[in-house]
Structure 1
Amino acid sequence: MLYQTAFTVINLAAVPAWLMLLLAPRWQVTRTLVHGGIYPTIYCAIYAVFLFNHLFLGAASADASFTSLGGVMGLFDHPNGILLGWTHYLAFDLFVGAWTGRDALRRGISHWLAAPAMLLTFLLGPFGLLVYMAIRFFQGKDHLSLIE
């Protein structure tokens, strides 16, 4: 039950950050909590707890490893491994979503054009980033670099 509760809490806690990014991108609270990195850092810390449990407290399948497909499948054979992976997705997707919002603003891309890509990042991770990169390209705002 503890794992289910943790799953529910980390899922629900991500929603306010995404709502801020999508509905109030210029709000000072959004800038501080999400764009400023506080929210993603909290998810990274939660990830570290699950990683610690996995590495040092035995909350992992005996078959878990990064060296084979079966080993990677073993990473997800324990509820802690699922939470580890899921928190990884939530942290990185939120970071990418925040980056997308900042990048769109910096490049003069309408928030309402970038927001669907951000929503797709929340729901489908890399596909949302792909959509945003296509928007940048077709808007003539892409200078062939992710970093400027």
Structure 2
Amino acid sequence: MAIDWDLMFGLTNAIALAGWLALSLLPRRERVLAAVLWAGVAMLCLLYAAMFAGLTGGLLDPGRAAPAPAFAYTVDGLKAAFEARGAIVVAWTHFLAFDLFVGLWIARDADSRGVHRLVQIPFFFATLMAGPIGLLAWLLLRRPLARR
């Protein structure tokens, strides 16, 4: 079965963007945070799992989109795997899910430390664009930014 990878790419990006906007703009009520977790992170994880299983099981784009069974975990092996459009979308969904989860954790941690929402937004952006850099920046600055 062929899948429209551009459609899946757009769908996963829209889900992630909605989660980031909710973290940045909506009141920090438990309902909102739960929605980011379940409608954002969990939905991305579910889509990831379905696409991953479909690709590796040969159900989606058979013969074109999944690495060979003898896939090597090397730079060359990854390069070969990511020549397939489906593999790129699956990997991107992986990034989106984990980055949004980290953003949710940053939001909860910042709120518990009394860090103003406007101060949190640059950390969200850094995490969205370069996950580990945004997380590292938050880890380094979370104590100095906390209200005393």
TM-score range, shorter-chain basis? 0.7 to 0.9
In 1: Cα distance, 2:120 partner to 2:27 partner: 11
How many angstroms does 1:5 deviate by? 1.4
1:116–1:66: structure 2 CA closer, same or farther, 3 Å change rule?
Answer: farther
Query: How does 1:77-92 map onto structure 2 within 5 Å?
Result: 77-92=83-98
Match among 121, 129, 133 for residue 139 of structure 2:
133
Letter in 2 for 1:77: E
2:113 pairs with 1:123: no
How many angstroms does 1:66 deviate by? 4.9
2:12 pairs with 1:6: no
Structure 2 unaligned spans of 5+: none
Cα pair 1:64 1:75 within 8 Å, conserved: no
* RMSD of aligned residue pairs (Cα, Å): 2.2
Cα pair 1:63 1:75 within 8 Å, conserved: no
1:88–1:134: structure 2 CA closer, same or farther, 3 Å change rule?
Answer: same
Question: 1:42: which partner in 2?
Answer: 43
Calculate the TM-score normalised by the size of structure 2: 0.83
Letter in 2 for 1:46: L
Query: How does 1:1-148 map onto structure 2 within 5 Å?
Result: 2-34=4-36, 36-57=37-58, 58=62, 59-62=65-68, 65-139=71-145
Cα pair 1:62 1:74 within 8 Å, conserved: no
Higher relative contact order (CA 8 A, sep 6+): 2
Q: Sequence identity, in percent?
A: 32
1:4–1:38: structure 2 CA closer, same or farther, 3 Å change rule?
Answer: closer
1:93–1:85: structure 2 CA closer, same or farther, 3 Å change rule?
Answer: same
Cα pair 1:25 1:31 within 8 Å, conserved: no
1:139–1:82: structure 2 CA closer, same or farther, 3 Å change rule?
Answer: same
In 1: Cα distance, 2:144 partner to 2:71 partner: 41
How many angstroms does 1:90 deviate by? 0.4
How many angstroms does 1:112 deviate by? 1.7
Cα pair 2:15 2:40 within 8 Å, conserved: no
CA deviation map 1:16-36 (0-9, x unaligned): 1111101114145422201x4
How many angstroms does 1:105 deviate by? 0.9
